[in-house]
Amino acid sequence: MEQTYFRKGFGLKKEMQPLIDAEYQSALVERIRARGYADTFGDVTVRLAQEFGFCYGVDRAIDYAYETVHKFPNKKIYLVGEIIHNPHVNQRMTEMGISFIYPQDAGVFDFASVAKEDVVILPAFGVTLNDFETLRGIGCILVDTTCGSVLHVWKRVENYARDGFTAVIHGKYTHEESRATASQVNKFPGGKYIIVRDMAEAELLCDYIAKRPKHLRTEDFKSQFKTKVSAGFDPEVDLEFIGVANQTTMLASESMAIGAKIRESIVERFDEEHTSAHFRSFGTICSATQERQDAVEEMMEKPPDLMLVIGGYNSSNTNHLAHLCRQYTDTFHIQDASCIDVGAGTIKHKVELDPEAEEILDEDWLPQDAFDLGITAGASTPNNKIGEALLRILEIRGITVELTAGLQST
């Protein structure tokens, strides 16, 4: 029988790597990294966070996409949603001939155009259990790039459902990963989940669990979370046994704080001695997300005068890096180098966590005197986009950088 499911690529990594490196690497970034993550250009001292940019899961997803195009040159290749949350990488997928299947308003995918002889790439975020089963039913070739860290969370959620625990997921209910993670409860009859976006929503949940005087009425609770819970969710029944998990790219400190708050509410309701029977929690922030957040915290022990965070506006982990940086110094979250206008000396950037928030234009954003510039980037940001943005800043200052082989210029 022909193999139709692939999770380990096609053994073409060495063959594809030179092409991937040529398209996504930056000699300027490598120069700064080689000099201890700091370098001076004129009156600008540039400091790179010691963990930034592409993580292992993103590297793997991109590698598998390139391998897939090389392996099946004569087949129609589809991608479910976006491979990662970076517009340039996704544009490159389009240029390679990959067709995107985007979700409808409710986050539902229509696979009517997919035929048995086609190839479908599953993104690093994964897909819902229902979408996976639909694609398997079509019989098409599936190339699964779901990140291992995401699979780790899925296993936790699956175990919660198996044991009759409701999965409380810290995440964005509209995010592909959170949808896919929540769907894992459906592997067991009666599996339940609820997704909380932030501490404010977690507090509403905790008030209800502990039956505090200020807690929402049952109908109001259902209304508040109606789009964020499993079918038939009944808070009166489904909040007695809870297992905590999270979207892997959330702010680690917030996920930990939410887990602690939920545990407190369980203790308040059932007493400490019975808490272990009603509450479970496991660390499910991915190591790459944690490392990038830790690197920013380390950099902020001596904050730079200005911080540049580079990555897609719909990238959760990039947004959280920017949020961290704003607590210490002037921070500009840009999608790419095009946000920096060399001629006008201006920058367009986003200041809110909401990916739909409009960009803001700043004119006098660079210090007049010598300054330290800190740089980090989300896990889905290629190094060449970091290099391009830096070159534009240096160009505004009238600083020329000698180009070497492989250096991406603006």
Active site includes 240?
no
User: Which residues are within 8 A (CB) of 399 and not within 5 positions of it... i.e. 6 or more apart?
Assistant: 41, 42, 43, 44
Whether the per-residue pLDDT at 408 is higher than 60: the answer is no
Give per-residue burial for 357-377: e unless 16+ CB within 10 Å, then b.
eeeeeeeebbeeeeebbbbbb
Contact 116, 135 (CB under 8 A): no
pLDDT in tens, 180-234: 999 999 999 999 999 999 999 999 999 999 999 999 999 999 999 999 999 999 9
pLDDT, mean of residues 144-160: 96
H helical segments located in 304-398 = 316-326, 383-396
The reported pTM is: 0.91
**pLDDT at residue 405, rounded to an integer:** 44
List, in sequence order, every beta strand (DSSP E) within 49-113.
Answer: 77-80, 99-101
CATH 3.40.1010.20: which residues of the chain? 10-55+288-396, 149-285
Q: Kindly indicate the confidence band of residue 406, based on its pLDDT and cuts at 50, 70 and 90.
A: very low
| Percent above pLDDT 70 for the chain | 97
Whether the per-residue pLDDT at 407 is higher than 80: the answer is no
Number of other CB atoms surrounding residue 74 within 10 Å = 5
CATH 3.40.50.11270: which residues of the chain? 56-147
pLDDT in tens, 264-278: 999 999 999 999 999
CA–CA gap between residue 315 and residue 121 (Å, rounded): 20
User: For all residues of the chain together, what is the average pLDDT?
Assistant: 94
Q: Looking at the domain 149-285, which fold is it?
A: Cobalt-precorrin-4 Transmethylase; domain 1 (3.40.1010)
Q: Looking at the domain 10-55+288-396, which fold is it?
A: Cobalt-precorrin-4 Transmethylase; domain 1 (3.40.1010)
Q: What is the DSSP letter of 338?
A: G
Domain at 56-147: CATH code:
3.40.50.11270
Catalytic residue among 177, 291, 358, 395: 177
Torsions phi, psi for 362 (to 5 deg) = -115, 135
pLDDT in tens, 155-191: 999 999 999 999 999 999 999 999 999 999 999 999 9
β-strand partners of 38: 47
Laid out side by side, the sheet with 38-41 consists of 38-41, 44-48, 371-377, 306-310, 330-334
